[in-house]
Structure 1
Amino acid sequence: MSSSDTSSDSEGSTGTPKPFHGHTDTVYGVAYSPDGARIASASTDQTVRIWDSHTGMQIGKPLKGHKEPIVGVAFSPDGQRIASGSFDNTVRVWDVLTQELVLDPLKGHTKVIWSVQYSPDGHFIVSASDDGSARLWDTRTGECTVILEHSHRLDVASFSPCGKRVATTCGDNLVRVWDVDSRSLVFPPLAAHKEQPWEVIFSPDGRLLASSSRDCTICLWNAQTGKPHKAPLKGHKLGVSGLAFTPDGLMLISSSRDRSVRAWDPMSGECLWGPVYSDGMHVRISISPTEPLVVCAGGSSMYIRDTVSGKRVLPEGTDSKPSKGQLMATLEGPRSLAWFPDGIHFTVAGFDYAIKTWNAKKGGEPVNVFAYHTGTVTSIDISFDGSMVVSSSEDHTIRLWNINDKAPAMDPIKVVNKEVTAVKFTRDASRFISANDDGTICVWDTRNGSLLRVIEGHDGFVTSLSVSPDGSKLASGSRDDTVRVWDLQTGTLIAGPYQHDYYVQSVCWSPDGSYVLSGSGDGSARVWSTVSGEQVFRVEHDSWVNCVQYAPNGETFLSASDDKKVRIWKANTGQLLRSLEHESLVSVAAFSKDGKRIASGTDEGYIRVWDIVSGKLLLGKGSSGDNEDEESVNEVERGVRHERRVSEESFMNRPATLRRQGQPYENTRPTGARREGTAQHRQTTQSYPLSDPDGRGPFKSFFASIGSRHAQGQSQRSRGNTNLFPLRRIMLVSTARAKERLAGALERRRNRNGKGTESESEEDEDVDATSTPEGAQDGLSRVPPSGTVYPPVNAQSHDEVNTCFCIPFKAR
């Protein structure tokens, strides 16, 4: 089949075909053909597709046969066959020309097959599976000839260039290199990653081994000895899922779940270019064997980039870095969110196995990432003094972290035969409590991780915990539809159960310890009196309530729901005060410790920060400019104004250009005339901004309005710009003379003051503004010659002129 035999679209749709347009779900695997003419892609839409690498047009029809998502794909060395691996636990081999199956499905794995690769001689296919094995298949017979067993799941298995070795990445965070003939390890497992490695490849000459991990790092090893070649390469903000050496081995390309691609020098470890970003989450990449190109899987499509510059080649277009709001995101939705005591930083954890900390004033990329868990992080909490974080995970572990050291405070606590669903510190952080899916609650010693007490009573999955302000009581919510209150010292039930109509998702004590707030899958948030045991009132959402919390001052509380809203309620009456709208269901939300902000996270993974008083979105996707909040913006503006005030020579660097503004203004003031006035009059004089919003410089507004307003002495202040200066007078000088005049004035002030800043009084400034500076030459005319018209009638916006208006001013 020739490359011209292309499909106009994936399923016969009409219209102009788009490059790499056809898949209807995430593309996980990509592979260049040996001649570089084709690209094969594997998708969770259960198809393999073949593309013309130069046009991006689909060749033929999708390859269908797998019953589940396809995540691995590879060309044979001769380019005639394609192998694919799938969630249906099978490997299938296709003929590229006929697009038919060559062999019966290769069966033997018992779980998902994540990757497939041909040996350099084409005689074998190696597959890596969740069942903990790497299998070698004979490409002629389809028989499994070698099984390399591991204790944990595998993500990738890769052949060395000689075909005699296979490298694997394992869920125990280790990289292994096997001798195929002896089926034994070449050297001990390589331990450097803190999280599960996702990719491993050999360099083209077989001397280096590169591995990447969920821990956001890339490690380089000596492939002959197993010794580290360089310190881990860092830069990506989420797990690194794709690696590829260029054919000459001089460059290593990496792709990440943070949607970025980078290029590295494998010898020096230097980042050569990047990050460059695409629209979708990157999974795998593949290098062209014939051209300096790399194809990256991103979302339901693909992108080809130049390996030298990183620029996008196909589809054509320009790249732009994601906004700060887009960078405030996690993989899928967050499971837990907690604020630090400073009211500025908060931590989020969830399905990407990582714990990320953001600055609530700056947004953008996380400032810290902890990636030690090997499963979804189910809950996090921060100690009252902000020195420690405790986290729980579906990997059946609890971890304690030192914030200052950014490292685990102790070995992980392993919880056997149960999943930890929630964790919470006591107020003094001497203990922490964990909730489990078997209905039990455990109390632990923070110093040594020893188990102090087990509390039993719930009949189902415990979802949430909250410690009373005095530290003596514990409230818990469960999927047995109840809220219960326990004595922390004895573990006895002292209040409740308070009954909901469905699962209780979240609980929180009021700051005065008199009430417990609970949110439920029944769509309600309820306030319970711990004194009377009665329900005080309830408020409603249109769907599940996932999270509830009191504000630090106890005057309001929030509830976050599947109805895409965070609602703020009056704590004593239940009156709805404000509703914060989101694009999808809200899984977590929390007040900052200073009570000024709310952070929220949605099922799509986006994190947002809101102002409590105004309800304004400060940071996150959809915020104005995805920039700092009001306080930060004000701080920046103050800094900019300060820089402008002290940078006296910045005015002299501006170009001498004019822009014609309507009818020319004719100077009718008598020659030699001066406008005089008091300081009060000067303060009400017409003012003009240092720079216009459209970026055309300080004089556009001046020339546009000087004729109509200057003569009348009216006062107007440009909106949105507080860095203004009052007009003194106008005079016509050459550009060179203008700069010389300004330089002379500034030098005279420095000599007088003994420093480079302006400190003169208003009277001194008036003298400077109306007198000729020392050393001024005769050619500096104070006023234009009689009858001169400015701006010139024929001046255009792009014309450069050899004269400029010199406007002495005092920056305020």
Structure 2
Amino acid sequence: MEHACSHRNKSYTLPFAHRKNISRLALTPQGNLLLSIDEDGKAILTNFPRRVALHHFTFKSSVSAVKFSSSGRHFAVGLGRQIEVWHTPPTPGSNASGELDFAPFVKHREYSGHFDSVRNIEWSGDSRFFLSSAKDLTARIWSLDPEERFMPTTLAGHREGVQGAWFSKNQETASAFHSLHKTAPGAYDEHEPTDHEDDDANMQWRIIQRHYFAQDSARLNCAAFHADSGLLVAGFSTGIFGLYELPDFNLIHTLSISQSNIDFVTINKTGEWLAFGASKFGQLLVWEWQSESYILKQQGHFDSMNSLVYSPDGQRIITAADDGKIKVWDVTSGFCVVTFTEHSSGVTACEFAKRGNVFFTASLDGSVRAWDLIRYRNFRTFTAPSRLSFSSLAVDPSGEVVCAGSLDSFDIHIWSVQTGQFLDRLSGHEGPVSSLSFAPNGNTLVSGSWDHTVRIWSIFGRTQTSEPLQLQADVLSVVFRPDSKEIAASTLDGQLTFWSVEDAEQVGVVDGRRDVSGGRRITDRRTAANEARTKSFKTLAYSADGSCVLAGGNSKYICLYGVRSGAIVKKFTVTVNLSVDGTQEFLNSRNITEAGPVELLDEQGEESELEDRIDRTLPGASRGDPSMRKARPEVRISAIAFSPTGRAFCAASTEGLLIYSLDESLQFDPFDLDTDITPATTLATLCTRNYLKALVMAFRLNERYLIRQVYEGIPVSDIPLVVRELPVVYLGGLLRFVVSSVDGTPHLEFNLLWVQQLLLQHGRYIRDNRRDFASELRMVEKCGVRTKQDLAKL
């Protein structure tokens, strides 16, 4: 899986992926190297500031713990009962001699002594020693190199597996934490060496304090310790965390932050912020304990997403999921802005009104709701005369009428948005209505059904009759082209069919079965090419200009087709994660046993702790308690939407909300190149004050750093002259560059002057060719709104 990181309230995704779920992450104290390890022990070493993968390596077994030393020169890895210490690959400037090691991973030593899996590793402040805690009820102290009068020491006396162990700031005491059952959820033991003046070689450690966490019917899941401030934070299975001050074990405060286990906790360097992770609900929380306030609180959908839609300005994405939640995401930062929880069941569809900040959702709870994005509230609720579970939705572009279809009924239901009254029921389909779409001009409604027909309705006409279009299989999705003259329909046999609305005639067909087919489930006894389940498209979306159509389904592929040619333009692979069903192409018989696939076999008997060994199997059930069964998510694309700017699209998948954009990186795509045009000659031209020629030369080379240098080197007084003489072929590129520069430079007024002059001098040409400049103008509007909001906060 890819990893997303946060910096200055923005998130980004590193441009590489593991082949299985990431299980362990470690960052050097200097913050320059990131080590990510997946479930199989395959690791990727990354230059974190530059987001570049440096080296791929495998530890040949699953890793249970990893930690960089305080100096950053070594890292320790827990591999089952073994601990291995490796040299950190040196980076320029980290070695005193200035030498670079060309072998990325060099093993320092192996350490053996634990009798069960290592859970946690912590280093001392001088990086000479490290503590390991394990499930064998012990913690052990090791030295990096042989030390005089030091022997590896075992800290025993615990009654359960040790969750973590740490050194104090002066390294004279060691603390260990373990979980207990029944009345006490966990205990904290503090150890110190006994004073043997006669024989230091036989120095022993003893328990000097033992404290218990006063959390009823809870279990200690994770803990973290900040040596400099003496703060201990502990996370419990009830979703509560406690903050304690050591060595006196004074409780500072407790707080409930989740409804499920807190699985991970860490403290930042200064000890001011605490970060928590709850994997069941996908929660991430950063808490400032001194002011008792949230720094960051994010939670994704913990069930599969069903639908998504862009806001008309392209700055927000609305997602709806089976968990009954509706989330509003900010495209720029990648964070969730607000969550609506009024629906009591899964939300199946969402749609924006073309004007205003209003969107609508349909749910299995039998209601259609209207939401206000200015006040963040639900201001209308629509219900049918009989109890139905709505699965599809369409909104009139003017926002006056909303329509919904259901799999329980063959009719289409219509409501008035202004009054909230039920208006009419459209009958004609002989099967469940699977998809609805309003024409962008608002005149017609199109519906697709499992009865093999697509119907075109004129709901504002005097007679609400429909024109049926016959297809060869169940209709899964139907969408309008942006000009309202054509519709595209996807059917269960893998066909994409295009129809003219005016003539009700078929104008094109694409056979996409071979394109979308890919990936087999772990329980399948056949290869992906022979699996019928993946051979159809469940969702469609037209591009902004109507020349292309995106299609996705129960497959790891998103296909982009040219409408006129009928040919596939590009094929996007959503994920290569082998921990998800549907990503493998071929059958591997080695993983199939008489009892089923190896990955789905229960391993209850191999656990070391009593709680994990208790057999809760139901009588007659072959795979144990249904709530505890192993289940693998299956890759699928449930919804696709194009951005109004036309330069990005998003997809709701098993891996989460994915955004594909053309604007993130500038590719080297030179045009009109000449052998005399080089970066050196471009800068020389700038020095001669021939600003227009220098700007054109920079755009010909298409190197962003060079364009920025020339752009910022042009005096403010010369901007109108340069813009007036600028060839129109560079107009779109300069507009995109200026808008993208607003976020990365403090020269706000300078950028706004460029935008103003470009629109003044070339406004007529842009208006006459508005279709060619549609995406640039939307970017300008989006940038203006964002700049206004940022200034309003000041």
TM-score (norm 2): 0.42
Larger Rg: 1
Structure with more of its chain in helix, by fraction: 2
